Amino acid sequence: MIEKVAVVTGAGSGVGRACALALIDRGWSVGLAGRRKVNLEETAALAGARSRFALPVPTDITDPNAVDRLFAAVVERFGRLDLLFNNAADTMAYVPTEDVELGDWRRVLDSIATGGFLCARAAFRIMKEQQPRGGRIINNGAPSAHVPRPDSIAFTAAKHAVTGLTRSLALDGRPHDIACGQIDIGNVTPIDRPQPAVRQADGSLRVEPTMDVAHVADMVVAMAALPIGVNVQSVTVIPSAMPYVGRG
């Protein structure tokens, strides 16, 4: 039996940490990517007796050379690559379009769209050549990949780009047994702070429902466990009462 190997970006906290730990718990070896070494090491430690199956690799995913070093380290340690969970993202405060700074626009787009592309490119190069060949890429989208919040133009544009990335990767991966799908994740319950009120389409502020991150991790693990000939192209996981359908 071939050991399954994954790379999870943004693995030092939140959704990335939860999904990395869930994969490790279910028998995967996981390369943990993120900017802060101490956070990645904390994630690995949380794996307990299975921490040896976690490889922390501090990485700026907007740097092509850093991305190449990440994937080289994972293959050197574990021998192959079966899954990339493209999860990392920079965000910014909600700001009216006319007040968005170009630096913030570029930072958000680079972390989500460019970083996702660079990691997917590196994964493609490995998955096409390894034996057995192929693998799976799961991109972290958002409800904003389909419908925006007010004052979120950079994040919304970046997440729409993720949808285009997912579809192109799914198409280009077909001849090489590389599947690509997208998970659009709604409000996850914060660990260390109250859920903030957010602007609605009618201009009001509302504290929206949230869900435990474990539900997201369960879905990512289920997508990852599918045989390579089966793909979840797109799935949306949100609290049932979260404004999404009819967001405005």
* Residue-wise pLDDT tens digits, 106-117: 999 999 999 999
> How many helices (H) and strands (E) are present in the chain, helices listed first?
7, 9
Homologous superfamily (CATH) for 5-237 = NAD(P)-binding Rossmann-like Domain (3.40.50.720)
In the predicted model, what is the mean pLDDT of residues 16-25?
Answer: 98
pLDDT above 70 as % of the chain: 98
Average pLDDT, the chain: 95
Looking at residue 100, its amino acid is: V
Contact assessment for residue 135 and residue 127, using Cβ atoms and an 8 Å cutoff: yes
For residue 203, the model assigns a pLDDT of: 87
Residue 126 has pLDDT above 90, yes or no: yes
In the predicted model, what is the mean pLDDT of residues 27-54?
Answer: 97
Q: What is the pTM of this model?
A: 0.95
For residue 3, the model assigns a pLDDT of: 82
Q: What is the pLDDT of residues 128-163, one digit of tens each?
A: 999 999 999 999 999 999 999 999 999 999 999 999
d(CA 74, CA 85): 14
Q: What is the pLDDT of residues 211-229, one digit of tens each?
A: 999 999 999 999 999 999 9
Structure tokens at 55: 């490889």
> Could you tell me the pLDDT band of residue 68, with boundaries at 50, 70 and 90?
very high
For residue 10, the model assigns a pLDDT of: 97
- What is the secondary structure of 168-212 as a DSSP string? HHHHHHGGGTEEEEEEEE-PBPPSSSPPPPEE-TTS-EE----B-
Residue 237 has pLDDT above 90, yes or no: yes
For residue 248, the model assigns a pLDDT of: 53
For residue 243, the model assigns a pLDDT of: 87
For residue 64, the model assigns a pLDDT of: 98
Residue 119 has pLDDT above 80, yes or no: yes
Structure tokens at 164: 């285009």
Q: What is the pLDDT of residues 93-105, one digit of tens each?
A: 999 999 999 999 9
Residue 14 has pLDDT above 70, yes or no: yes
d(CA 145, CA 157): 8
For residue 162, the model assigns a pLDDT of: 98
Question: Residue 143's closest CA among 133, 155, 151?
Answer: 155
For residue 192, the model assigns a pLDDT of: 81
For residue 194, the model assigns a pLDDT of: 87
Selected residue with higher pLDDT from 193 and 32: 32
Structure tokens at 208: 């929206």
Residue carrying the six token digits 């899954």: 83
